[in-house]
Structure 1
């Protein structure tokens, strides 16, 4: 439903802004501003995208969690799409997404929202990690069965992938 509202509201906002700005400064300056913001936004996106790619490579080489550079890179990509879309509203949102503190706030808000939806709830008595799991992180609990190598297994079928030679 929210996506539908965005697809309806954003074009209406853009049309209204085009009419207001075009009426105030004229057609050619309005079109020039739209083209200029697309060019400037593309250049900013390229610079910030390359910097984010370098941060991602550095974090992968050092073994750190790459989620932050990936999230920043995704929002820079969204900013680029918005800046290439003609309109004042999309340009404003795209330029805001190119501001690193604003981007960090959007990522933090999205992470908090996702954490609320993905929260794991373990009920008392349910199977799952208990207090002892925190003390012995190197112990893995599991079940196993021993299969005889020499005994033919009829349940595996006769395909070439499961047949023993």
Structure 2
């Protein structure tokens, strides 16, 4: 958490200064605003598709586990895209690429299974 709240803001400030020196302050601000608007639109459209898929799968009796994780990744992408900065925008846009999201979903699923199998999490069943 220390890394998240200390290193990333410093990196973002460094990138703002670097880009601002090259293209100017107003152009830098414009890019940040455009990436936030474009990223929010992309996240919303992809999130709507996933939500539609979840609804149709639920209607068919199919558990929405993977789709729920995909929706969560799209939500994270949208949140980091709304955060001003070039590094966070890059992370957000990478998360909006379906192939990248699929690989991350598989990796997270594997890590979750390892975590729960290792006795770190107790799942209560009724």
TM-score, normalised relative to structure 2: 0.90
| Higher Rg of the two aligned structures | 1
Is 2:29 aligned against 1:27? no
User: Runs of 5+ in structure 2 lacking a partner?
Assistant: 120-126
Displacement after TM superposition at 1:120 (Å): 6.1
TM-score, normalised relative to structure 1: 0.69
- Paired residue for 1:40, among 38, 41, 45? 38
Residue-pair matches, total: 119
Measure, in 2, the Cα distance between the counterparts of 1:84 and 1:36: 10
Q: How much is the aligned-residue C-alpha RMSD, in angstroms? A: 1.2
Q: Describe the SS at the equivalent of 2:18.
A: helix
Is 2:88 aligned against 1:72? no
Measure, in 1, the Cα distance between the counterparts of 2:111 and 2:118: 14
Deviating beyond 6 angstroms after TM superposition, the runs of 4 or more aligned structure 1 residues are none
Measure, in 1, the Cα distance between the counterparts of 2:112 and 2:70: 16
* Greater RCO, CA 8 A, separation 6+: 2
Q: Describe the SS at the equivalent of 1:29.
A: helix
Measure, in 1, the Cα distance between the counterparts of 2:62 and 2:69: 14
Q: Describe the SS at the equivalent of 1:20.
A: helix
Measure, in 2, the Cα distance between the counterparts of 1:49 and 1:76: 6
